[in-house]
Amino acid sequence: MTGTADTCSSSSLAKLAPIQAVLFDVDGTLCDTDPIHHRAFVDLLQEINYNNGEPISEDFFIKNIAGKHNEEIAELFFPDDIPRGIKFMVDKETYFRKLAAEHITAIEGLYKVTKWIEDHGLKRAAVTNAPKPNAELMIAKLGLTDFFQAVILGDDCEHAKPHPEPYQKALEVLQVSKEHTFVFEDSVSGIKAGVAAGMPVIGITTRNPEDMLMQAKPTFLIKNYADPKLWAALEEVDKAMGAGNGAST
């Protein structure tokens, strides 16, 4: 299944020329934060003796939490007491930021891609289900505050991912077309949102299993931004744009 997507990867991006913009998820796409989120959940759930104090597994986290909006997660853990669930998630995000401030690192090859985007004069936005303080912290710690021209939050939309609205809003804010924009995502929820918004999505296998991500129909998957597969596709983009299809800004 992965092979099928990979065969058309280069041409799929080249068809977007002239490329206008690139959109990024934040958690797990710019930086590998899932282990930090997992630890925050484990510690705080044990404090309230959730599941008789048995820690949630990484597999449970990937299948039930990664990429989801906080309201969904609150309902997962506290289906009969949503206000308590919302309060728990606020506490969890505060604890996450404390941990993340010391442990955030960029996904391999990220700055090579951001330079390629800047060199081509493309517009860019971060599109995330993360709460605003989390998004701002991660982007700042990565030194990308000035790189992004917009940060679109699920909280600011009527519907968060996997609904396409956050990505549709990014296109609107940047004043670009879905026919000339592509997306980087690492979760099933995020890939579904980008695909539903009508754009090619490159899935990053930071933590989520390939077979799970492929179910969301990404254009192709990469291990990280240094993956030769990505650069082969971007080389095809360069060829297409060099043939009289310069970047549209």
How many degrees, rounded to 5, is the angle at CA 228 between CA 212 and CA 37? 45
Which position among 27, 34, 186, 227 bears the catalytic label?
27
Is residue 242 within 8 A of residue 249, CB to CB? The reply is no
| Active-site residue, 27 included | yes
DSSP secondary structure, 36-73, as one string: HHHHHHHHHHHHTTGGGGPPPPHHHHHHHTTT--HHHH
Sheet holding 220-222, edge to edge: 150-153, 123-128, 21-24, 181-185, 201-204, 220-222
Question: The tokens of 229 are what?
Answer: 């597969």
> Whole-angstrom Cα distance, residue 87 to residue 72?
13
- Lookup result for tokens 């021209």: 149
Which position among 6, 25, 155, 211 bears the catalytic label?
25
Task: Pick the closest to residue 34 from 201, 208, 225 (CA basis).
Answer: 208
| Active-site residue, 59 included | no
Catalytic residues, which ones?
25, 27
